[in-house]
Structure 1
Amino acid sequence: MKLLEYQGKELFDQYGIRIPRSHLAHTLLDAREGGRKLGYPLVLKSQLTVGGRGKAGAIVKCKSESELESRFNELLHKEVKGELPRGILLEEMADIKKELYLSLFLNRSKRCYSLISSSEGGVEIESARNKVMVDVPIDGLTAHTAEETASKLGLDGKTVVSFVDFTTKLSRLVSEKEAELAEINPVAILGDGSLMALDAKVIIDDNSMFRHPELKKYEHVSELERQAEVSGFSLVELDGNIAIIGNGAGLVMSTLDMVSDAGGKAGAFLDFGGRATTETIYEALKVISKIKQIDAILVNLFGGIVRTNLVAQAILDAYKNNLITVPVFARISGAESEKAREMLNGSRAKLYNTVEEAIQAAVAAVKR
C-alpha cells in the first residue's frame, strides 16, 4: 500500500519526526484558506503515488495568492504517468542549509532492513556520489550505528545528534508499522542544525494490514472495488478493455498474463474465490457492467469447490436481464462442467475447450 506524501508525513509526525507546516486542499477555496494560514512563499505539491513529480512540473513554488490561483487548478488536473492527483499539499518554505537523502527499506535477500543515506539530497540515489549503506536489524537501528553513519556523511555538531534522533525514530516507525519502504528525499538540514522531512514516500506491506486497523484510512480503493469487497470477492480495476473473471487469484493472474502475451489488455481482475453462488457471481457481473471501458468478459473457470453450473446460471441471468451486453468468452472445466456447457450452449456466451482459444477469440473481438 503506497501512501501519499501527506499520509506518510502524518505518520512521521506521530513518531516525532519533524515535518513542515502544511495544508491539504482539494478546491481553490480550500487552497486560499491554506495559503492565508501558512503565509507566502509556499510550495504546491501534487499528491500522487508515482515518482518523478518534480521533473513533471507537479511541484511548484508559489509567492502570492494570485500566483496560487493561477497554478492550483492547473496542478489539480495535471496527470503524471497517467495518474491524477488526489489533492494538492500546500507547504511552508523551509530555511534549508543543506539536503540529505535517506531511505530505510526491507532487504529481503538479507532478511533485515537496510539504511541508505547520502550527503546529496534532491537527486536520484543512483546518481549520488557519496552513499552510505548499513544493515538494520528488524527490531530497529541503534544509536551507535546511526552515529557512525552520520560521521561517514560528514555531519558534525548538533546535526549528528539530530540525525541519530531522526533515523532511530524512522526505524521505529518502519518496524512497528511493518513498512517495506520509508524514503525521504530530501531531508533538510536547517539553519539550527536540526533535520526536517521535506518529502515522504512510505509503502506498507499489504499482508500486515489486519494488524494495523489504524492504517485502514489510508487505503485507496474505488467505489466498485469496495462494493466487490462487501459482496465477498476481489476486484482490481485496470486500464484495459477485457474483464477477467475466475476462481482463485493464481488462476486469474496467470490468465491476465496470457491475455497480455496475446496482445490484449485487462480492464479488470475479478476473483470470486471458492464459495461462489449464483447470487454472488451475478453480483460480480453487475460490478463488471459498471466499468465503462469493458468490451469483453473472459471467464476462466476450473470447478472444484465451485460448481460451474452456478456460474453458467449467473451468466444466463445477466444476459436475460440486460445486465451485460458485451460478449462473454469462457473456458469452463471441472465439477459440473458438462452441465454448465449444456446450459450455455446456444446462448450469447461463447465456449472454448482451452483457455488459449478463449483468449485469442476475446482479444480478436475487442480489436475488431
Structure 2
Amino acid sequence: MKLLEYQGKELFAEYGIPIPSASLAYSKDEALKDSTKFEFPVVLKSQLTVGGRGKAGAIIKCSNSSDLGLAFDVLSKKEVKGELPRGILIEEVVDKKSEIYLSIFLNRSRRCYSLIASAEGGVDIESVTNKVIFDIPLGGLLREQAQEAAAKLGLQDVSFEAFVDFAMRISTLVKEKEIELAEVNPIAILKDGSLIALDSKIIVDDNAMFRHPELRKYEHVSEIERQAGKSGFSLVELYGDIAIIGNGAGLVMSTVDMVTDRGGRAGCFLDFGGGATTQTIYEALKVISKIQQIRAILVNLFGGIVRTNLVAQAILDAYKNNLVNVPVYARITGAESEKAKAMLVGSKAKLYDTVEEAIEQVVRQVA
C-alpha cells in the first residue's frame, strides 16, 4: 500500500521526525481559508501515489492568495501518469541551506533491509553516483551505522547529530510499522543545522496489514475495486492502458511484470481465482469496461480448476452484448483449452500459444 505524502508525514510526526507546517485541502475555498494559517510564500503539492510530480508541474509555489487560487484550479484537474490528486497539500516554504536524501527499504534480493543516503537531495537517486549504501541488521539500524553514513555525507556538528537521530527514527518507524520503503527526498538542512522532511514516500507491506489496524485509515479503495470485491474477484486499478486478467494472484502479478518489462503499462490487475464461472468472468469484464483508459485486455489463463471454455464463453458474451469493444489478447492453456480456442476462432479475441507472444502483440497494439 502506497501512502500519500501527507499520510507518510503523519507517521513521521508520530515518530518525532520533523516536518513542515501544512494543511490538506479538497476544495479551493478550503485551500484559501487554510492558507491564512501560513505566511506566504507557500507551496501547493498534489497528493498522488505516483512519482514525478515536480517534473510534471504538480508542485507549485504561490506568492499570494490570488496565485494560490489559480494554482489550486490547475492542480485539481491535472493528471500525472493517469492519476488525479486526492487532495492538495498546502505547505510552508522552508528556508533551507542544502538538501540530502535518505531511504530505508526491504532489499528482497539480500533478504534484509538496506539504507541509501546521498548528499544530493531532490533528484532521481538512480542518477546519483556518490551514494552511501549498506545493509541493516534485522533488529534495526545501528547508531554506529547512522554515524558512519553521516560522516560519509560530510555532515558536521549539529547536522551530523540531527541526521543520526533522523535516520534512527526512520528505522524505528520501518521496523514497528513493517514498512517496505521509507524514502525522504529531499531532507532539508536548515541554516541552524537541523533537518526537516520535505517529502515522504512510504510503502506498507500489505501482508502485514492485519497486524496494523491503525493503518487501515490510509487504505483507498475505488468504486470499481469495491464492485469487483462484491462480485468475488480481486481487482487493483493501475495507471496504464492494458487490463491484465488471470486466475491466481501470482500468475497475474508475474504477467504485469512481463508487460512492464516489454514497455507496456498495466491499467488493472484482475484475479478471478480458481472457482470462476461464465457469469463471474462476465462480471469481471463488465467492471473492466468501466475503466476508461483501457485500450486492450490481456488474458493469461492456466486452466486447472477453472474450465477455460467458460472464460471463452464470457468473452464471446461480452462482445455480443457490446460490453467490450477493445481487443482481447489471450494465452489459454489447461482444462478444455482446445475447446476454448475453437470457440474464439473468428471473434475479436486473438489467441496465442505463449504468453510472451500475446504480450508482444498487445504492447505493440497500444504503443
The answer, yes or no, to whether TM exceeds 0.5 is yes
8 A Cα contact 2:16 2:169, kept in partner: yes
Aligned residues: 366
Counterpart amino acid of 1:272?
A: F
Counterpart amino acid of 1:40?
A: F
Q: Give me the whole-angstrom Cα distance separating, in 1, the residues matched to 2:144 and 2:261.
A: 51
Q: Give me the whole-angstrom Cα distance separating, in 2, the residues matched to 1:69 and 1:80.
A: 20
Instruction: For residue 90 of structure 1, give the secondary structure of its aligned residue in structure 2.
Output: strand
**What residue number does 2:23 align with?**
23
CA shift for structure 1 position 200: 1.1
Paired residues for 1:162-181 under 5 Å = 162-181=162-181
**What residue number does 1:121 align with?**
121
Deviates more, 1:206-215 or 1:59-68: 206-215
Q: Give me the whole-angstrom Cα distance separating, in 1, the residues matched to 2:352 and 2:131.
A: 56
Counterpart amino acid of 1:282?
A: Y
Is it true that 1:105 corresponds to 2:105 in the alignment?
yes
Instruction: For residue 176 of structure 1, give the secondary structure of its aligned residue in structure 2.
Output: helix
CA shift for structure 1 position 163: 2.6
Q: Give me the whole-angstrom Cα distance separating, in 1, the residues matched to 2:303 and 2:17.
A: 52
Identity %: 67
Instruction: For residue 32 of structure 1, give the secondary structure of its aligned residue in structure 2.
Output: helix
Deviates more, 1:232-241 or 1:39-48: 232-241
**What residue number does 2:57 align with?**
57
Instruction: For residue 44 of structure 2, give the secondary structure of its aligned residue in structure 1.
Output: strand
Shift of the 145–230 alpha-carbon distance from structure 1 to 2, 3 Å rule, reads same
Is it true that 1:277 corresponds to 2:314 in the alignment?
no
8 A Cα contact 2:105 2:181, kept in partner: yes
Instruction: For residue 114 of structure 1, give the secondary structure of its aligned residue in structure 2.
Output: strand
Alignment RMSD (CA, Å): 3.9
Superposed CA offset, 1:296-338 (max 9, x none)? 6554543321233544554565566664466666665533456
CA shift for structure 1 position 227: 1.9
8 A Cα contact 2:298 2:328, kept in partner: yes
Deviates more, 1:318-327 or 1:223-232: 318-327
Paired residues for 1:87-236 under 5 Å = 87-125=87-125, 131-236=131-236
Superposed CA offset, 1:80-123 (max 9, x none)? 44543332211112243443322222333443323333344334
Shift of the 91–139 alpha-carbon distance from structure 1 to 2, 3 Å rule, reads same
Shift of the 359–176 alpha-carbon distance from structure 1 to 2, 3 Å rule, reads same
CA shift for structure 1 position 262: 9.7
8 A Cα contact 1:330 1:349, kept in partner: no
CA shift for structure 1 position 247: 2.0
8 A Cα contact 1:330 1:358, kept in partner: no
**What residue number does 2:42 align with?**
42
Instruction: For residue 78 of structure 2, give the secondary structure of its aligned residue in structure 1.
Output: coil
Shift of the 238–355 alpha-carbon distance from structure 1 to 2, 3 Å rule, reads farther
Segments of 5+ residues of structure 1 without an aligned counterpart are none
8 A Cα contact 1:300 1:355, kept in partner: no
8 A Cα contact 1:105 1:180, kept in partner: yes
8 A Cα contact 1:188 1:195, kept in partner: yes
Superposed CA offset, 1:218-249 (max 9, x none)? 33443212322332222244566664433234
Q: Give me the whole-angstrom Cα distance separating, in 1, the residues matched to 2:62 and 2:312.
A: 59
Superposed CA offset, 1:282-308 (max 9, x none)? 321221232345566554543321233
Deviates more, 1:11-20 or 1:151-160: 151-160
Q: Give me the whole-angstrom Cα distance separating, in 1, the residues matched to 2:330 and 2:126.
A: 47
Q: Give me the whole-angstrom Cα distance separating, in 1, the residues matched to 2:356 and 2:110.
A: 43
Superposed CA offset, 1:162-218 (max 9, x none)? 333221111011122222322222222334443211111222233433433333333
Shift of the 289–165 alpha-carbon distance from structure 1 to 2, 3 Å rule, reads same
CA shift for structure 1 position 276: 1.5
Counterpart amino acid of 2:19?
A: I
Shift of the 261–140 alpha-carbon distance from structure 1 to 2, 3 Å rule, reads closer
Counterpart amino acid of 1:30?
A: E
CA shift for structure 1 position 157: 3.8
Segments of 5+ residues of structure 2 without an aligned counterpart are none
Instruction: For residue 171 of structure 1, give the secondary structure of its aligned residue in structure 2.
Output: helix
Counterpart amino acid of 2:286?
A: K
8 A Cα contact 2:351 2:358, kept in partner: no
Instruction: For residue 39 of structure 1, give the secondary structure of its aligned residue in structure 2.
Output: coil
Counterpart amino acid of 1:225?
A: E
Q: Give me the whole-angstrom Cα distance separating, in 2, the residues matched to 1:105 and 1:361.
A: 32
Counterpart amino acid of 2:303?
A: G
Q: Give me the whole-angstrom Cα distance separating, in 1, the residues matched to 2:337 and 2:163.
A: 64
CA shift for structure 1 position 15: 1.0
CA shift for structure 1 position 272: 0.9
Counterpart amino acid of 2:186?
A: P
Counterpart amino acid of 1:208?
A: A
Counterpart amino acid of 2:149?
A: T
